[in-house]
Amino acid sequence: MEIAYFLGCIMNNRYPGIEKATRILFDKLDIELKDMEGASCCPAPGVFGSFDQTTWAAIAARNLAIAEEMGAEIMTECNGCFGSLRECDHLLKENPAKKEEINAILAETTDKQYKGETKVRHMAEILYNDVGLDKLSEMFTKDLGINVAVHYGCHFLKPTAEVGIEESAENPTILDELVEITGAKSVPYKNKMMCCGAGGGLRARDIDVTLSYTKEKLDAMAEAGVDAIVEVCPFCHLQFDVGQTEVNAKYGTDFAFPVMHLAQLYGLAMGLSADELTFDAQLIDATPVLEKLE
């Protein structure tokens, strides 16, 4: 099996341990991750899509066209990239006039055309549906006996009518199941399905509102008593990592939940070192949870 691996921005440009763990995992699973050479920013659905739909769609369509030329489905492990590429694909399939407009722009500026021949997929969904929990479990050498707060983020499952991974995003289980095969326990907490607060350009536009979201999430996680936060979106990852220190500075709190992308959690379960997973590049010290795993 071959997949066009879409990197995006935040994972590869800030938290490369997520990319590293993913490449190792898929190598073990015998799935080839093919680089999408020259791919750009997805660009971010909430923020860039809010500025100018045409520019947003043209840049996203160019990325889709790269995968089409490779003859492969696209895999991303960022909810934002997933949202953007999937939404653009959906828009251009539903709206022939828009497709024509975007292809005219691509013809003028690139040697690419959007044909609608690829499929945009999230890593978590590929692991769950194509690989399966049983095979996945075989990759792990270490039982992770920690309690985690699973954060789904917004653009992984929603809008469910278009995405279709889960029938409803009110009480999904896919990510909890993916987490619990490592031996980690997904602890229920209040407002589990709530947004981290960073999306839609809000983090850039009004950090105080964003932090009030994040604090509400962190308060609930503290109440539930978790060792770490696990998510499937590098932007949520950044918000829980950097944003957690910002919350502490603003509210005088002392939250210290290490943040892990699902790929990093799997990296730990595969026995990769903390260095390889670049936990040391994160603001919230992961040592307490790593020690708990020893």
Partner 1 sequence: MSVLDTLKSLIGGAKKDIDKNLTKEAESVEEAADSIQTSSEEEIEVKSDSETISEEEPLEAEAPAEEEEAAEEEAPEEVEAEEAPVEEEAVEEAVEEVPEEEVSLDEEEESIDDKLSEEEESLEAAEEAVEEEASEENEESDNMTLLKENDIYSMDDIDKEFTQKFVDAGIETVDHCFQCGTCGGGCPSGRRTPYRVRQIVRKCLLGLREEVVSDPALWMCTTCYTCQERCPRSVKIVDIIKMARNEAAKAGYMADAHKATGSYVIKFGHGVPINDKTKDLRKAIGLDELPPTVHAFPEALEEVQKICAACEFDKLIGFNMETGELE
Q: Which of residues 113-152 bind partner 1 (CB under 8 A)?
A: none
Q: Which of 114, 128, 213, 255 forms a contact with partner 1 (CB under 8 A)? A: 213
Q: Which of 70, 169, 290, 293 forms a contact with partner 1 (CB under 8 A)? A: 169
| CB neighbourhood size of 47 (10 A) | 20
Q: Which helix (H) or strand (E) holds 121?
A: strand 120-122
Q: Which of 2, 32, 100, 275 forms a contact with partner 1 (CB under 8 A)? A: 275
By CB under 8 A, residue 62 contacts partner 1: yes
By beta-carbon proximity to partner 1, the closer residue of 80 and 258 is 80
Check: CB of residue 157 under 8 Å from CB of residue 115: no
Q: Which of 52, 167, 177, 223 forms a contact with partner 1 (CB under 8 A)? A: 52
By beta-carbon proximity to partner 1, the closer residue of 143 and 223 is 223
Determine the interface stretch with partner 1 among 41-49, 113-121, 257-265, 285-293 (rule: CB under 8 A): 41-49
By beta-carbon proximity to partner 1, the closer residue of 124 and 227 is 124
| CB neighbourhood size of 13 (10 A) | 12
Determine the interface stretch with partner 1 among 128-136, 142-150, 198-206, 257-265 (rule: CB under 8 A): 198-206
By beta-carbon proximity to partner 1, the closer residue of 227 and 268 is 268
Question: Going edge to edge, which strands form the sheet with 32-35?
Answer: 32-35, 2-5, 73-76, 120-122
By CB under 8 A, residue 40 contacts partner 1: yes
By CB under 8 A, residue 247 contacts partner 1: no
By CB under 8 A, residue 198 contacts partner 1: yes
DSSP string, 251-275: H-------EEEHHHHHHHHTT--TT
Determine the interface stretch with partner 1 among 51-59, 69-77, 173-181, 251-259 (rule: CB under 8 A): 51-59
Q: Which of 27, 206, 223, 285 forms a contact with partner 1 (CB under 8 A)? A: 206
By CB under 8 A, residue 224 contacts partner 1: no
User: Which DSSP category does 281 fall into?
Assistant: G
User: Which DSSP category does 280 fall into?
Assistant: G
What tokens appear for 202 in the block?
A: 């809000």
Please state, in angstroms and rounded to a whole number, the distance separating the CA atoms of residues 9 and 19. 11
